[in-house]
């Protein structure tokens, strides 16, 4: 098994693709040892091979499962000498569409992965984080956690929850010497933009974004901001100029933003 050999280490969920994979590439290039975890084991193998021999370990992890977390953290600790410099709670899923179109089971899935998965991760990793001076937790939230996003209602609610959890734990863990921050991207070019109302849906969120002329930022930008979130003094790190603008507007003119959000909602069409 590969080991950290004194290098700083990061534990990444959702590491098989998107922001997780790109963050692993960036941290590895900068000399970090990466723990790569996801339900997609084929994707993990590809990312690990890309990072090179001895630079990572991988493991199948369903963030909803506390048993999976226990096994993953055990193997990571064995590879790092009981240390964890950064926990990157990045795994996330979503459904896009009118609330009545999305099943209760899919809503449960989104909540369980996006919220319970983050809580499970913090609790499972806390012993290693406490044993590591200057440790940090970075949680992937979203600009959908700043203002409620129509047709992403449950996803948006989960990201508000991640934002609140981040702020609460950053205060709660002060005495432990652990910082807790969040990454808040605008639309990033990752597989999550393929979300529909259900698995296999023909209409994807990415299609509607293109039609609306929305900006979609490269995944490399989100990875750089994840690096900042792991090192900087702020608590929330926006990825993309649109995200920065949204943060500014919701702080200073929240009423205007809410009116604009309402105006942006398309009419329902009969199926």
Domain contains 266: no
Any residues with CB less than 8 A from the CB of 266 and at least 6 apart, and which? none
CATH number at residue 175: 3.40.50.720
Domain contains 137: yes
**Starting from the edge strand earliest in sequence, which strands make up the sheet with 179-185, in order?**
56-60, 33-38, 9-13, 86-89, 136-140, 179-185, 236-239
Domain contains 3: no
Domain contains 109: yes
Range(s) of the domain holding residue 233? 9-261
Our count of domains for the chain comes to: 1
pLDDT for res 206: 58
Which pLDDT tens digits describe the chain residue by residue (271 residues)?
A: 899 999 999 999 999 999 999 999 999 999 999 999 999 999 999 999 999 999 999 999 999 999 999 999 999 999 999 999 999 999 999 998 999 999 999 999 999 999 999 999 999 999 999 999 999 999 999 988 898 888 899 999 999 999 999 999 999 999 999 999 999 997 777 776 665 556 655 455 556 655 666 677 789 999 999 999 999 999 999 998 888 888 888 888 878 878 888 888 888 875 4
Domain contains 269: no
Domain contains 1: no
Domain contains 270: no
Q: Which of 37, 155, 217, 237 is catalytic?
A: 155
Task: Return the structure tokens found at 46.
Answer: 């590809």
155 is catalytic: yes
Domain contains 267: no
Would you say 34 and 55 are in contact if contact means Cβ atoms under 8 Å apart?
yes
């Amino acid at each position: 098994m590969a080991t950290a050999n004194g290098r700083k280490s990061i534990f990444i969920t959702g590491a098989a693709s998107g922001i997780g994979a790109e963050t692993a590439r960036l941290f590895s290039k900068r000399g970090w040892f990466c723990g790569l975890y996801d339900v997609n084991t084929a994707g993990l193998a590809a990312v690990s091979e890309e990072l090179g021999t001895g630079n990572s370990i991988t493991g199948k992890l369903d963030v909803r499962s506390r048993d999976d977390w226990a096994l993953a953290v055990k193997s990571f600790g064995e590879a790092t000498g009981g240390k964890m410099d950064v926990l990157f709670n990045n795994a996330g899923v979503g459904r896009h569409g009118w609330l009545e179109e999305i099943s209760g089971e899919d809503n449960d899935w989104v909540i369980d992965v996006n919220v319970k998965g983050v809580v499970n991760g913090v609790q499972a990793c806390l012993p290693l984080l406490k044993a590591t001076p200057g440790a940090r937790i970075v949680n992937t939230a979203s600009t959908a956690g700043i203002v409620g996003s129509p047709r992403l209602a449950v996803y948006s609610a989960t990201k508000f929850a991640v934002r609140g959890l981040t702020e609460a734990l950053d205060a709660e863990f002060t005495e432990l010497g652990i910082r807790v921050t969040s990454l808040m991207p605008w639309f990033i070019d990752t597989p999550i933009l393929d979300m529909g109302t259900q698995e296999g849906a023909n209409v994807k969120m990415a299609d509607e974004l293109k039609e609306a002329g929305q900006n979609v930022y490269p995944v490399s930008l989100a990875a750089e901001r994840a690096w900042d979130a792991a090192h900087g003094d702020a608590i929330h790190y926006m990825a993309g100029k649109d995200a920065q603008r949204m943060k500014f507007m919701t702080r200073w003119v929240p009423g205007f933003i809410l009116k604009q959000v309402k105006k942006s909602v398309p009419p329902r069409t009969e199926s």
